[in-house]
Structure 1
Amino acid sequence: MNNNITPQTNEVNPKENNSTKKIVLITSLAIIVLIGCISGYLLSKNKKLVDSYANKVYPGIYVFDKDVSGLTKEELHTVLEEMVGNISSRKLSIAINDKSFEESYNNFDVTIDYETFENEVLSYGKDIGFFEKVNRIKKPESKTYEFSINYNEEKLVGFIDSINDAVLINPVDAKANIYGGTVNITPEQIGYELNKEDLKSKIEAVLLKVKDEDLVALDGQLVEIQPYITAAALQTVDTKISSYTTHFTAGPSGTNVLRGAQMIGSRVVMPGDEFSTVEAIGPTTAEYGFVSANTYLNGKVVPGFGGGVCQISSTIYNAELRAGIIPTYRVNHEMTVSYVPQGLDATIGDEWPDLTFENPYDYPIIVNVYAGGGSLTAEFWSNSEATGGIRYEPKAYQTGSLSADTYLYGYDSNGECVLEKYLDSSVYKPFS
């Protein structure tokens, strides 16, 4: 049996092989072109999407709880103006004891920095790559911006000052009146003022809140103002440390001496404080009860309101020196006077010159001036320890018919001189 098997051969037609390759190539090219077209389309679409937000707020952006996605700068500005307008329409109500004060936020010029804040919101997402922008637009994540409130601090301070003016109760210093050798004291009264810093902090805190009630109620606090002069301080005054008396006659000058003494009365000078005779007497005008009398002017005796009050300053000067106090300013008259020796007078004017001194002691001084029956007396009262047991005595030595040098001497309890101090020289003009 012949089992010969004839082998089969698979011959490929070259033409068919080439056709298959062409089909694969064309298909591949078609797919590439299709992908390119699709990619180009998508790229173009995404570019348009990104470009559409070039001048708009990206999705997912909030200003506080307000969604501002997709808004242009103009639209965002309108939204912000509305928000600020709502804040400006609020009112403050300040309660202080039984008084209340109301003010609109608008009067504090409440606003925001629109330009800076709008640019900040609009710039979000604009500084990243293209595909990141696409992803941020298509798949936004929430982002919240909060603006800061600006206000006119000067107007706020003015409002607070106006409240303080309305609630202010000024303190009243303790007063002393010396009569019959006794120091009578009227107690001080505590004052009250607004705690302005506390209220300012409270108002600033609510002004900066974006969300709040239409009427914001706050409480203001009062703080005590302690009087400068207290009864406790005046109670240390227990001794008359010096006194000096001059004499005057009835007439216009005498009237002014009486009135000036009344104006001074018992004047308290605290440690380190300055006493001004001109200030203590006050304006020497008809309104205050003064009359026209003889005064010195350019070497002549001429009439003038308040003439004669220089006798008060001269009397105080002599009492002052006997209290061991040297003036901070003193000038002699143009011409001599009859009521004190040359070199121991002190002239004053409407405003200047003046007789002034500072209290050098650790205790209050009471300058007590009174007049009557042709006598004018100036007394200095203080604590018995003030002068340290030293007795003071001024002396003026004539150096000519119209000049004198003045010294101050101090004596201890044994009568020994422990102080000799030259004060000044006084030169006078002759009467013309």
Structure 2
Amino acid sequence: MDNNIAPQTNEVVTKPTSKLKKILFFSVLAVIILVASTAAYVNSENKKLVNSYEDKVYPGTFVFDTDVSGFTKSELHTVLEEKVNEISSRKINVTIGDSKFEKSYLNLETTIDYDTFENEVLSFGKDKNFKEKLALIKEPESRSYGYEVVYSEAKISEFIDTIAEQVKIEPINASISVSWDSVSVTEGQIGYELNKDELFNNIKTALQDIHGDELVSIEGNLKEVDPEITAEALKTVDTKISSYTTYFQPGPSGTNIQIGAGMIGNVLLMPGDSFSTVEAIGPTTPEYGFVSANTYLNGKVVPGYGGGVCQISSTIYNAELRAGIIPDFRTYHEMTVGYVPQGLDATIGDEWPDLVFTNPYDYPVVVNVYASGGSITAEFWSNSQATGGVTYEPKAYQTGALSADTYLYGYNSAGECISEVYLDSSVYKPF
């Protein structure tokens, strides 16, 4: 047995001296100060970076395919102007048949809403907080903006109106002629006009195409325009519904009557159309062959160009009443005339007074006036059903030596009076 015992060793832990503590303290402090200084510097730089974009476009921004990152409003505006100038240099070519019409975009006042678009691009991200703004700048995501082209719709309309005026083909109304109890109808012709709404929309679509061609071709279309008066409507005229004839002596008045009757000839009145005797005859001047003849003026018989044409209006008036048509305006002469009874005359002047009436029927009416061999006749032609089978007869009753009251009576097929209409009273001056 080994009785030797190993000696025990005791470790001695030494505590840092006060000097070492100080070294550690200042080392840690230095690190803290460095970190804080670095953070402050970085933060300061980040603020500067964010602030530098307050009036600039954020990174990653494109206007169509153009990168405008970091652009000021002025720089962005310059880019946009260049793009608008490119668009304005384009042209539109409209083809209609063999005709071509060209207009530049510039003439249509193409542009964009600069302020609205620029503010939209520049304002992106400006409402975010600091961290979000910093992220948009340092880690940008690509985004693209597109604008709409604006233009003058009035200029487009002017362009289209010019085209429409040059390509239109007016329709030709059917016509009717009555001669010696024979009715002849001439067919009308279809017209053509530009489809303005369609062309307007096609031009707008072309202008809105930002990436369109330098020369945009558009085909315009014409649409048919029917005549207002068709042969089918005129072919319903098949009956002389009234007629009246008066007589005159050869001489200046007779010459004027024949000329005036020839001026009227055949006048077509569609339903609702009005007839003016003054307009139908036209100016009674020497240029149209009228001569000086006796007229009534201020209670006296005096010479005047066109004297005698009142016999035309009086003859028409009597035929008109027998057609069952009441005048819109009629006035009697200053003094009596010899070619119609008192109360059944109708005087006219160069402009006024006038004999005016309107076609009240659902069918066309043709007023046919002709003069020959010392007589003038006025005929009214329409459909056989126009008057509903009623025969009309005017009557003037003498109420004095120089006055009369006029009535219009209607008779059915049995000859029975079924209507009575008071027309007016006529009062004449003595010669």
TM class by shorter-chain length?
over 0.9
In the other structure, the counterpart of 1:139 is: 139
When structure 1 is superposed on structure 2, of 161-170 and 40-49 the one drifting more is: 40-49
What one-letter code is carried by the residue in structure 2 that aligns with 1:258?
Answer: Q
In 2, distance between residues paired with 1:378 and 1:54? 91
Shift in alpha-carbon separation, 1:165–1:60, aligned structure 2, 3 A: same
After the TM superposition, which residues 386-397 of structure 1 pair with which residues of structure 2 at under 5 Å, given as runs?
386-397=386-397
In the other structure, the counterpart of 1:290 is: 290
In 2, distance between residues paired with 1:378 and 1:189? 30
1:120 aligns with 2:120: yes
In the other structure, the counterpart of 2:229 is: 229
1:217 aligns with 2:217: yes
Secondary structure of 1:140 counterpart: coil
> Could you tell me the TM-score, scaled by structure 2's length?
0.93
Shift of 1:420: 0.9
Shift of 1:7: 6.8
When structure 1 is superposed on structure 2, of 19-28 and 62-71 the one drifting more is: 19-28
1:203-236 CA deviation, whole Å, 9 max, x = no partner?
Answer: 1111222221111111111111111111111111
Secondary structure of 2:228 counterpart: coil
In the other structure, the counterpart of 2:58 is: 58
In the other structure, the counterpart of 2:162 is: 162
In the other structure, the counterpart of 2:402 is: 402
1:319 aligns with 2:310: no
1:286-345 CA deviation, whole Å, 9 max, x = no partner?
Answer: 443334444333334444443332222221111111011111222223333222222212
After the TM superposition, which residues 190-209 of structure 1 pair with which residues of structure 2 at under 5 Å, given as runs?
190-209=190-209
In 2, distance between residues paired with 1:400 and 1:415? 30
In 2, distance between residues paired with 1:199 and 1:120? 33
1:8 aligns with 2:7: no
When structure 1 is superposed on structure 2, of 305-314 and 368-377 the one drifting more is: 305-314
After the TM superposition, which residues 348-427 of structure 1 pair with which residues of structure 2 at under 5 Å, given as runs?
348-427=348-427
Shift in alpha-carbon separation, 1:251–1:152, aligned structure 2, 3 A: farther
Shift of 1:285: 3.5
- Structure 1 segments, 4+ long, off by >6 Å, are none
Shift in alpha-carbon separation, 1:10–1:343, aligned structure 2, 3 A: farther
Shift of 1:386: 1.3
1:252 aligns with 2:252: yes
In 1, distance between residues paired with 2:357 and 2:110? 53
In 2, distance between residues paired with 1:116 and 1:149? 12
In 1, distance between residues paired with 2:311 and 2:394? 17
What one-letter code is carried by the residue in structure 1 that aligns with 2:306?
Answer: G
In the other structure, the counterpart of 1:268 is: 268
When structure 1 is superposed on structure 2, of 197-206 and 1-10 the one drifting more is: 1-10
In 2, distance between residues paired with 1:330 and 1:157? 46
In the other structure, the counterpart of 2:78 is: 78
In the other structure, the counterpart of 1:429 is: 429
In 2, distance between residues paired with 1:19 and 1:293? 148
In 2, distance between residues paired with 1:307 and 1:344? 19
Shift of 1:64: 2.0
> Could you tell me the TM-score, scaled by structure 1's length?
0.93
In the other structure, the counterpart of 1:32 is: 32
In 2, distance between residues paired with 1:65 and 1:293? 88
In 2, distance between residues paired with 1:25 and 1:288? 128
When structure 1 is superposed on structure 2, of 365-374 and 345-354 the one drifting more is: 345-354
Shift in alpha-carbon separation, 1:146–1:271, aligned structure 2, 3 A: same
Shift in alpha-carbon separation, 1:91–1:350, aligned structure 2, 3 A: farther
In 2, distance between residues paired with 1:312 and 1:199? 52
In the other structure, the counterpart of 2:67 is: 67
What one-letter code is carried by the residue in structure 2 that aligns with 1:323?
Answer: A
Secondary structure of 1:325 counterpart: coil
What one-letter code is carried by the residue in structure 2 that aligns with 1:8?
Answer: N
Q: CA RMSD in A?
A: 2.1
Shift in alpha-carbon separation, 1:104–1:309, aligned structure 2, 3 A: farther
Shift in alpha-carbon separation, 1:36–1:266, aligned structure 2, 3 A: same
In the other structure, the counterpart of 1:346 is: 346
Secondary structure of 2:249 counterpart: coil
Shift of 1:24: 4.0
Secondary structure of 1:171 counterpart: coil
Shift in alpha-carbon separation, 1:296–1:8, aligned structure 2, 3 A: farther
Shift in alpha-carbon separation, 1:420–1:18, aligned structure 2, 3 A: same
What one-letter code is carried by the residue in structure 2 that aligns with 1:218?
Answer: I
Shift of 1:4: 8.2
When structure 1 is superposed on structure 2, of 159-168 and 149-158 the one drifting more is: 149-158
1:36-82 CA deviation, whole Å, 9 max, x = no partner?
Answer: 22122212222222222222222222222222222221221121111
Shift in alpha-carbon separation, 1:103–1:4, aligned structure 2, 3 A: closer
Shift in alpha-carbon separation, 1:95–1:10, aligned structure 2, 3 A: same
Structure 1 alignment gaps of length 5 or more: none
In 2, distance between residues paired with 1:306 and 1:140? 94
Shift in alpha-carbon separation, 1:139–1:188, aligned structure 2, 3 A: same
In 2, distance between residues paired with 1:414 and 1:342? 29
In 2, distance between residues paired with 1:47 and 1:171? 76
Shift of 1:6: 5.3
Shift of 1:17: 5.5
In 2, distance between residues paired with 1:206 and 1:300? 74
